[in-house]
Structure 1
Amino acid sequence: MDTTVTSTVKHSVISDFKEITKMRLALSVVFSSLAGYLLGVETVDYKTLVLLAFGGYFMVGASNAFNQIIEKDLDALMDRTKDRPVAAGRMSVNVAFSIAAIFTILGITILYTINQQTAMFGAISIFLYTCVYTPLKTKTPLAVFVGAIPGAIPFMLGWVAATDNFGIEPGTLFAIQFFWQFPHFWAIGWFLFEDYKKGGFFMLPTRKRDRASAVQVIVYSVWTLLASLIPAFGITGKLYITPISAVIVGLLGLGFLYYAFQLFKKMTTQAARTLMIVSVSYITLLQIVYVLDKFIR
Structure 2
Amino acid sequence: MIKNLIELTKIRIAFLVLTTTIIGFYLGQQGIQSPELLLYTLLGTLLCSAGSSVLNNVIEVETDAKMNRTKDRVLPTKKMSLSTASFLGILFIGFGLAILFEKVNTLTSILAFCTVVSYLVLYTPLKKVSWINTSVGAIPGALPPLGGWTAATNSLDPGGWILFFILFFWQHPHFYSIAFIHKEDYARAGLKMLPVIDNGNKKTVLHIFLHALVLIPISTLPFFFGISGRIYLVGAYFLSNIYMLCCLPFILEQTERNAKLIFRTSLYYFVLLFFIILADVRF
2:217 counterpart residue number? 226
**What RMSD in Å do the two structures reach over aligned CA positions?**
1.4
- Which SS does the other structure have where 2:155 is aligned? coil
Task: State yes or no: 1:137 paired with 2:127.
Answer: yes
Structure 1: 5+ residue stretches without partners = 1-12
Give the Cα separation in 2 of the matches to 1:97 and 1:245: 42
1:4 counterpart residue number? none
1:286 counterpart residue number? 273
Give the Cα separation in 2 of the matches to 1:167 and 1:35: 15
1:22 counterpart residue number? 10
Task: Give CA deviations for 1:54-101 in whole Å, capped at 9, x if unaligned.
Answer: 111111111111111111011000011111111111110111001101
Structure 2: 5+ residue stretches without partners = none
Task: Give CA deviations for 1:91-115 in whole Å, capped at 9, x if unaligned.
Answer: 1011100110111111111111200
Paired positions, count: 280
Structure 1 length normalisation: TM-score?
A: 0.90
Q: 2:67 aligns with which of 70, 78, 87?
A: 78
Runs of 4+ in structure 1 off by over 4 angstroms are none
Task: State yes or no: 1:44 paired with 2:33.
Answer: yes
Structure 2 length normalisation: TM-score?
A: 0.95
Amino acid at match of 1:180: W
Task: State yes or no: 1:96 paired with 2:112.
Answer: no
Task: Give CA deviations for 1:135-187 in whole Å, capped at 9, x if unaligned.
Answer: 10011011111101000011111111000000211011111111111111111
Q: Report if the CA contact (8 A) 2:195-2:201 is conserved.
A: no
Q: Report if the CA contact (8 A) 2:183-2:196 is conserved.
A: no
2:227 counterpart residue number? 239
Q: Report if the CA contact (8 A) 2:186-2:196 is conserved.
A: no
- Which SS does the other structure have where 2:156 is aligned? coil
Give the Cα separation in 1 of the matches to 2:129 and 2:232: 41
Kindly state the Cα deviation for residue 224 of structure 1 after the two structures are TM-superposed.
1.5
Give the Cα separation in 2 of the matches to 1:219 and 1:75: 31
Equivalence map 1:1-297=2 (5 Å): 13-42=1-30, 44-112=33-101, 113-204=103-194, 207-208=197-198, 210-233=201-224, 236=225, 238-242=226-230, 244-296=231-283
Q: Report if the CA contact (8 A) 1:193-1:202 is conserved.
A: no
